[in-house]
Amino acid sequence: MLGATLDYWILRPLTHGRNSATEEELERGHSTSQLDIELAIYRIEKLQKRLKGRLPIEGMTYLDVGCGSGDMALGFAKLGAKHVTGVDFVARAISAARSNAERLGLSDRVEFVECDIHEWVPSKPFDVVLSHEAMEHIHDPRSFLCRLARFVAPNGVAVLAFGPLFYSPVGDHMWGFFRLPIPWRGALFSEKAILRLRKEKFRPTDRAHSYEQIVGGLNQLRYSDFLRFAAEAGWRFQFLDVNPQLRKYPALYRLSNVLCRVPHLKDYFATSVYAILARANKE
């Protein structure tokens, strides 16, 4: 907004260090944490509700892209999915996911792969490819949406649920060390200033110099970019909803729908996106 140095001094009093942790401490936390399968099932039910009941589960083969510690993947297996494969490029997440699968006795129906989704080649396509709370973290989302078609069976679907998008009010994902939820912080303030504060107050051993370099990555995807990339990749929308978390506030939800259709404005108000995609031209 005013340059990296001034932005840093403006934002610094608004930060705290209560959640500061080194990568080593995060590694230990992942290795000792245990998944709550009931919470995972609740998250799936919440996803199903936001997709208005359109998510097929029973007897389906699933690919969970950006699976983290495996909660959703294991939850789908518990709810009747035939087989689930979870992929993630963060080693500690895959290690935790495998431990959770073994502890829950689901290793025969759920497998986890540490890989870069841009390079991984599955042995066969899947009925459902899910990317839940991961799209905004995936490097080169345009390439990802193109490559996604290789993973989906001819009559299958890709389910994308993601956000907050970068240019939305909370899109910088930096709430872990700020005292106040400053809206549009990532869009208004210098990346260099925010990452300097992140290193001081939140992740002292992360050497990232850009949003994309932080552990997990942050690609600064815009809603308009997503719509364009999906069209270019040959996808058609079976379902699309923006900001479904606002449905409980009907007037606000209607206003959100209007704003998210306005060019140049929609990128600043589209916080979360829930979509089901199918191939525009089936092979």
Give the domain CATH number at 101: 3.40.50.150
Q: Are residues 66 and 120 in the same domain?
A: yes
- Tens of pLDDT, residue by residue over 211-269, are 999 988 899 999 999 999 999 999 999 999 999 999 999 999 999 999 999 999 999 99
Q: For residue 164, what are the contacts with CB-CB under 8 A and spacing of at least 6?
A: 136, 170, 171, 173, 271, 272
Q: Is residue 251 part of a domain?
A: yes
- Tens of pLDDT, residue by residue over 116-152, are 988 999 989 999 999 999 899 988 999 999 999 899 9
What is the predicted pLDDT for the residue at 30? 60
Q: Are residues 126 and 64 in the same domain?
A: yes
Tokens of 60: 């389906």
d(CA 172, CA 186): 5
What is the predicted pLDDT for the residue at 282? 57
What is the predicted pLDDT for the residue at 36? 86
Q: Are residues 181 and 79 in the same domain?
A: no
Q: Are residues 136 and 69 in the same domain?
A: yes
- Tens of pLDDT, residue by residue over 5-61, are 999 999 999 999 999 998 788 777 665 556 788 999 999 999 999 999 999 999 999
Q: Are residues 108 and 186 in the same domain?
A: no
What is the predicted pLDDT for the residue at 141? 94
- Determine the straight-line distance between the first and last CA of the chain, rounded to whole angstroms: 49
**157, 126 contact by CB (below 8 A):** no
Give yes or no for a cis peptide into 181 (omega within 30° of 0). no
Of the pLDDT bands very low, low, confident and very high (cuts 50, 70, 90), residue 271 is very high
- The mean pLDDT value for 174-183 works out to 93
Q: Is residue 29 part of a domain?
A: no
Tokens of 80: 């009747």
Q: Are residues 121 and 235 in the same domain?
A: yes
Q: For residue 103, what are the contacts with CB-CB under 8 A and spacing of at least 6?
A: 34, 35
Q: For residue 272, what are the contacts with CB-CB under 8 A and spacing of at least 6?
A: 161, 162, 163, 164, 165, 242, 243, 244, 245
DSSP-based three-state secondary structure for 143: helix
d(CA 13, CA 274): 36
d(CA 141, CA 37): 30
The total domain count for the chain is: 2
Q: Are residues 14 and 73 in the same domain?
A: no
d(CA 264, CA 267): 7
What is the predicted pLDDT for the residue at 29? 67
Domain of 129 in residue numbering reads as: 34-167+218-279
- Tens of pLDDT, residue by residue over 66-92, are 998 999 999 999 999 999 999 998 888
